[in-house]
Every structure is written in structure tokens, then in C-alpha cells.
Amino acid sequence: MIALSVNLNKIALIRNSRDTRNPDIPAHAQMCIDAGADGITVHPRPDQRHIRASDCFDLAAMLAVEFNIEGNPMAGPRRSERPGVGDYPGFMEMVREIRPAQCTLVPDGDAQLTSDHGFDLKRDGDSVAPLVAELKGLGIRTSLFMDPDPEQIRLAAQTGADRIELYTESYARAFASGRDVDTILGQFVRAAEVATEEGLGLNAGHDLDLHNLPDFARAIPGLLEVSIGHALTVDAIRIGLANTVAAYQRALGKH
Ligand SMILES: CC(=O)[C@@H](O)[C@H](O)COP(=O)(O)O
Ligand SMILES: NCC(=O)COP(=O)(O)O
């Protein structure tokens, strides 16, 4: 069965628009879990635009499901610019202390609007591999955010990573446009096959939604987990959180 890990970034974005604890991130996580979510994902960025370091510690203290923390392993400490908000301690510093079930390394720069590319391990493999080794040494399942590029995925296996997360925006865009869907989906099927050949577990995420998820879930061999936040949050506003989580579980083939 493919696990659904709900990403809480956009809930935190709403919370940050006021000096408030509403929505309360741990309480919202619990509602997702009560509605059937298999895990919780957050992406604490250095500017703390949405998920803050404090949210990660609050969630770690209460979650009874898998906790997946995503982020750039090279992101160092950053002083908070907002009164009452603690500083960002650095991504690896935070993960070392929290030791989540899974850590997904994402090569995001500070100026990016959102995650928009996977690792280039031809260039960065030598710097990523020691970080993977350290995280695995801490008992943390380690995943790398990757484009559906077989050569890069083979390099991901050489870093010692446990899993990769396929960056699915190209599929989501093709699905929305109706153009080249089979070709693009075929790229993801091949990427999944290579991941399995290399002994890598397979996750996927970014811009997945209720429309494009069923075909993706049916087509991709060995898919273990999807992490979904943006579209899921919008759907929850439209049809309610419990209905939304149930709808995404159905879209994954669970009834
Ligand atoms: C890595 C990825 O694709 C998403 O998990 C990421 O968390 C999206 O970040 P934003 O929610 O900041 O757009
Ligand atoms: N890793 C993908 C994720 O956690 C959420 O991405 P999105 O659904 O917000 O695009």
C-alpha cells in the first residue's frame, strides 16, 4: 500500500499570516492522522516562511506516525527576522536533534519560490554522501529529492541513500495540459524501475493532486509513499479535511 504523508507547509503559511497559534500545527497534524494520514511531512526553510523550527520540535513531541522532514542539508543557522519567532538552527542541526523517521534532502536555494529541481549528484554527490551516512548512522531513513533521470538515480544509490523521492511536477504539468502525458509518465516508470534495480525505495511528491494521483499511483511500480500538501490543503478548504484525506487515500487505491 502506498503511504500518504500529509505536508503541513501551507497550514503553517496560514498561521504565519497573523501573530497567533491558529491553526495549531500539532492539532492539525493530529486531525490529519485521525482522518487516516499515514505520515506527516514538513519542509522547514531557512526563512521560516511557513514551517518554523519550533513547529518541527512540537510535531516530533506528539506524532505517533512517521515524521518526514524535508530540506536543504546545506542550509545553516539563520536569525529570525520576526519578533517572537525563534531562530532557524540549521537544517542538519535540527534533524540531528529531532531524529525523524525519515529525512528527505532537497537541493533548494533560499530564493526559490518552491522546490523546483532534484539533486545534481554528478556535481554534488561527494558532498551529499557523507551527510547520508551521518543521517543513516543516526537511524534516520534518508531519501534524496530527484528528477526522473536514470543516470542521476544510479548516482543516488551510490550515496548510500535508502530511498529517492521523485520530483513529480513535470508529470503534474503534463497531466494538467493533456500533452505528452504517456511519454512523461513513461519517464517516471523507467525512473522507478531503475530505483528498484539499484535497491532504492521509492517516494514521490510535488504538485500531486486528486486528479493526477490515481493514474500515477497505478502506473509507478514499487511506489512506497507520496507526500502531498499544497493541493490537499486547497481540497480541505473545499470539502473538509477528513473528506480530503479519505479522498486521497482512495486515489491511492485504498478503500
Ligand atoms: C520537496 C517538495 O517538493 C515539497 O515537499 C516542498 O515542501 C514544497 O515546498 P513549499 O511548500 O515551500 O512550496
Ligand atoms: N515532497 C512533496 C511534498 O511534501 C508536498 O509537495 P506539494 O504537494 O505541496 O506540492
Rounded to the nearest 10 degrees, how much is the dihedral formed by the CA atoms of 86, 89, 90, 91? -80
| Residue 230 is assigned to a ligand binding site | yes
* Ordered per-residue pLDDT tens for the chain, 255 residues: 999 999 999 999 999 999 999 999 999 999 999 999 999 999 999 999 999 999 999 999 999 999 999 999 999 999 999 999 999 999 999 999 999 999 999 999 999 999 999 999 999 999 999 999 999 999 999 999 999 999 999 999 999 999 999 999 999 999 999 999 999 999 999 999 999 999 999 999 999 999 999 999 999 999 999 999 999 999 999 999 999 999 999 999 998
Q: What is the pTM of this model?
A: 0.98
For residue 209, the model assigns a pLDDT of 99
Ligand with minimal distance to 227 CA: 2
Catalytic residue among 28, 43, 165, 225: 43
Rounded to the nearest 10 degrees, how much is the dihedral formed by the CA atoms of 158, 159, 160, 166? -90
Ligand with minimal distance to 226 CA: 2
- Confirm if 179 and 148 have CB atoms less than 8 A apart: no
What CATH number is given for 3-251 in this structure?
A: 3.20.20.70
Q: Is 43 a catalytic residue?
A: yes
For residue 255, the model assigns a pLDDT of 81
Pocket test for ligand 2, best of 6, 41, 169 (most atoms within 8 A of CB): 41
**Which ipTM value was assigned to this complex?**
0.98
